[in-house]
Amino acid sequence: MVTKHQPGPLLAGRTAVITGAAAGIGRGITEAFLAHGARVLAVDVDAAALAGLDKRAGDSPLATLRVDVTAPGAARRIADECEPDVVVHNVGHFLRPPTEFGSEAPAAWARSHDVNFGHVLTLTHALLPGMVSRGRGGSIITLTTVEAFRGIPGHVAYSAYKAAAGQFTRSLAVETGRHGVRVNAIAPDVVESRQLPYSDWVGETDRWRWATWAPLGRHGTADDVAGAALFLASDLSSFVTGTTVHVDGGTLAAGGWYPRHGGGWTNRPLDP
């Protein structure tokens, strides 16, 4: 059915579940959804951050739930709290410094699986039947990463699980299309956040290098990703399913080519 775009909030009357909702990208998505009229269940493991989010939301229709999405029974707890039209799987993390695969303990793979992919399966499994039975369609959005589309040394398992989330997105979209449930992913590159404070890591003397790391000449923000999530959650994307939106400033498209600070291009990123 063709959707006619109407003025006003993009998510009015819809309920969304957002995991990892209290900080960084998740917080940006939560605030954007609230601003566009959604009722939001914000799920996070950090009680203090959830309290801060709740205070900031004011009179907006926000509910919070402190739970570790990787814990047994977490998906059922979330499913018992609401009947969502939109699900945003935002939880994910490198978990550790870069480590060569041959030196990595197998236990680290299991934890990375739980944090970066396992909860996507369990929570979708818990929420999808209700989305289908209510007959309103819906949108499922998973945060992956640019590293799911290129090699990244030192984080082999992480990138593999993020790539798996992308394939899950494509396959589930085929299954659920007839029910009006759309399934898509968002793949950011560097996004400034408390989790990844890139400005602090780079330092003032190397700040000029930002202009050489992405064709758009800057790192991403939580608001950049929130805009993509808002698009995928709303009727603006009513004929979009099974795809990944790359919110990376063009880094994947550049394929390792970087703009020089003074003009021209290089595939040697340490060149000024």
Q: Which of 55, 158, 198, 258 is catalytic?
A: 158
Map residue 143 onto helix, strand or coil: strand
Interstrand relation of 258-259 and 265-266 (parallel, antiparallel or unpaired): antiparallel
Rounded CA separation 11/4 (Å): 14
Rounded CA separation 27/222 (Å): 8
Rounded CA separation 267/272 (Å): 11
Instruction: Outline where 114-243 has alpha helix (H).
Output: 119-134, 156-176, 198-202, 210-213, 222-233
Q: Does the annotation mark 55 as catalytic?
A: no
Q: Is the dihedral of CA 39, 230, 68, 124 positive or negative?
A: positive
Q: Does the annotation mark 198 as catalytic?
A: no
Residue 191 DSSP one-character state: B
Q: Which of 161, 162, 198, 258 is catalytic?
A: 162
User: Catalytic residue positions?
Assistant: 158, 162
